[in-house]
Structure formats: structure tokens, C-alpha cells
Structure 1
Amino acid sequence: MADEVPPPSTLPYPPLHLDKKFVALSDWDGTITNRDSNDYLTDHLGFGLEKRRNGNLEILSGRATFRDAFREMLESVVKNGHSFEECAEVLKQNISLDVGFKNFYDFCKANDIPVVIISSGMAPLIRAVLSKLIGDEEAKNIEIIANDTIIHEDGTWEIKYRHPSSGYGHDKSQSILPYRRLPNPPTVFFFGDGVSDMSAARHADLLFVKQKPGADNDLAAFCTREGIPHVLFEDFDRALGLIKKVVEGEVSVGEAVKVGRA
């Protein structure tokens, strides 16, 4: 809830985008990208798909926290001898953007809508992949609120959580709630797909949940179970059609939510 004491953050936040009518916040892995990079590392370099998927189901059921299950995933990659640099290179070769993200990003830039990546992954990996996909200069201009990485002298590495006291490791609601406290809060769009987005799901004005054919849809399952209004979308081009109608005043946020699928 908005009046709860926020978990202490080990990492700084960028300034809020004040006096904006709209702000777009988006998960990175599996939402902006075609697949989840940490899942990819775990499935191919760590303990594998079956154990990872079981962990996700434990999170969804409430029997495990995302923080602990995610740390275990990454530890399995490190235990198998894979350096952070190797992981970054593997992801740069195997992760691509959602087909419509560039159009969405260009529309937001043209309409003074800040786009901020809100990720439970690690910022150095996100920057590495983003630079490969859209270029160094453009990648520098996109704000990233994520976890960090600790690389030890022996070459092993581990995640540094933004909110280690939270069961999420990174409580994404803390990137939305400060906007709620502004005298004239913007309309907040949030885009997500998985269990790491559950903390943010209740707080966006317009929640877009990515629906990937043949893939897990944990956030959709959570929102359906909890009665959280959301709009399903398959790619950012489809979401953009609805976003344009809201930004241009053709439909209200309340009307947009009722669409159900972009």
C-alpha cells in the first residue's frame, strides 16, 4: 500500500520526471526483449529449465520469494564456472528487442513521455545488451532502475539487490508510488510479463501484461487471480495503438483498461 514504509534501497534512484502528463515504466526481460535474459542464462548455463520453472511456480504460489529464487538461479550459473563477462557476451548474441519497441520508444520521445526500464535484472547486463541492440548513444539516454552486480577478485559474481529486505529484491512499486504522491501526478503506464512485476501490478494507472504464445504468462495469471485490471499485449506495436488513443485523449484510462487486449 502507498502508506507502507518503503524498503531501504542500497542503490540511488534517478530524479522523478516532474510536470509530465505521462510516464512509461517497463520491465526489461521478456517484455522489452524477446526472451528473459536471466532465464536464458539459467536454462543454458545454470541448473536448467525444469528447476527454474518450478521456482517460478513456487513464487507465484507464495511459497518462495522472488529474491531467494532468483539468487539461486544466478548462483547456479556461477557455480558452473561462467564469468560475468561471458554471460554478457552470450546475452548480446541471443537476446533481441520486441519488434515494436523502437516505434513505441520513438513515439514516447516525440510526445515528451519518459521511458524508464524497471528491472529485477542487473543494470550492467541490461546496458550491455541495450547498447548492442540500439547503439551506445541511444542506450545511454534510457534510464534504468534495476539491481547491480558484485564481481569478486576470484572472478565469481553475484547480484546486488536494490531492496535486499524485500522479498522481491527489487520492489518495483517503489518506482511508481513516488509519482502517486505528486500534487499533479502523471498517468503511469507499466509494462510487464512475469513474477518480478507483481509488486508493481496494483499501482499503475494502465497495466499492460505481455502475452507470449507458447511462453509462461505468470503476471497474467497473478492479475487474473487477484482481480487486477490489465490489458494483454503481444508486442509494443499493438500496445502503441492503445497508448496513442489515451495520449491523444480519444479514450480515457478507464476505457482503455476495459479493452482487455491491445
Structure 2
Amino acid sequence: MLFLSRTLKTTAVSPHMPRRAELQGVANDFVHWFLSRNNDAGGYWAVGKLRLLCEQNDFKSLNLKIWPLAMHPSAESTSNWAQSYSQVLSAFLAGHRFPKTWLVFGSLALEFEPMSGMRAIGSSEAGTRFQLTLELVTDVGKKYIASGVGNCLPHNPNLERRSLFSALRQLPTEQMEQPGFRPTANIQPMKIGPRYLHKSRSFSGSMEETAALSESLASAPGLLSIEAIEKHHKGGNLATLEVDGSCLDDFLKYMDSQGWIDAF
């Protein structure tokens, strides 16, 4: 299971001597990330997928041991999830300059209300309430706990829009481990609306042209989502896109290399 956190740059932090109490900050950051849409699994919100997993197995709650770091998945249905979340936690530890030898145990627990149950106050997401609790334990036995709540529905690909880009796919593991890395930081989302025409190809119809454009966009660096592609009355396709502003130059160069020009 690959989790896709939308981050492209690292943030430098000033050198300092870490303290074990900073593990509370690690826990808080992890929970904030987990509740957000950056907690992405295969292009969909991971919380919805976890809710579906629980319903399929008649679970009311889910407990995952995520530390020590799980290097290889096992045969258990939740193993890939635990492995992926342990890797995310490892990145947060590195970002806080927290020595991994100081952390001896980590677990997360998810509890889901039935679909007829209560909603979490303050969350605009559809569905009913869930609660996440993360527990981290240091080598001296001190526990640090963070929790959060939200609302979600079970994963349904027919009702959800799939993300076509996740920056973590582009990051080597060693970059994730650099001090200052934050899985949730530094994305610069921006909306653009180019009208694309191809410089050299001719198409038999608008459907073929739209399909070719969609294929090129799917591999474009910095693309966060495709909101719409519509035929333009002057020719070509009007695309409504969300891209990472820090990768805009790379995105434009890539589309040009694919033969697409912005006619506006």
C-alpha cells in the first residue's frame, strides 16, 4: 500500500539538540496529516479505504502497530497499512531530528461510528464520525498520545475523484529521511485553465483528441488533479487543472515536449 503525501521540497530547520518531549510534536503532526486528504492511498483518501476494510471484516475498530519500522509486509490484511504508516512516521521523526533509537513502540487505533451514528462536530466531510488515537513510547517509558476526529464514508471509487498525482512517488527514500522533511508541507496548489491544441498531430474526432490530452496530463510532473476537460468552441480542449506552483515550469516544459500548446 503506497501512501502519497503531496510534498515536493524539504524545509531546512536550525540545528538543535533534540529532547524526548519533542515526540509530542511528532505525534501531533502525524495525526494532523492522517486526518487530511494528504493521507492518500492509491489516489483516494486512505481513511475511507480503512473504513471499508473494517466493514468488510465486521470490525468496529482497527489497531495497527506501526513501530518498530515494518520493513516487509506479512500475510495479514492490515500488514501493508502498518508498513506504510511506519514509513510515514519514520519521515516525521527525521523531520523533527528525533533519534529513532529513542522510540521503542508506536501504534494507532481507529474507531468508526456505524453509518447511522453520530457525526463529528467541525468536520465538513460526508459520513459519520471516526476517531484516531496515536500512541508513541520512548526508550525511557514515557508515553505521548495524540488524537483527532473526523467524518468519512466507506471508500467508493464511483463516488470519489481519484488524484492523478502524488509527489511522494517522485521522492527517493533518502530525501524523505532528510532533516526538515514534512509530508504535509510546501505544496503550492494553483488553478490553471489552459486551452490545449496539438502542434503537429491531427485527430479523427474530439474524443480521440481528448483521450490523447488526458494521457499526456496523467504523466505530467506537478499535476495535482484534473477537474475538467471540455471541448472549446474555438478548437482544442479547455482544461481546468490544479498543479503544484513550485513545479509549474516543469509542467509547462513537459506539456510542450508532448506537443501541446496553450492557445490562450
TM-score range, shorter chain: under 0.3
In the superposition, the TM-score normalised over structure 2's length comes to 0.24
Identify, as 1 or 2, the structure richer in strand. Answer: 2
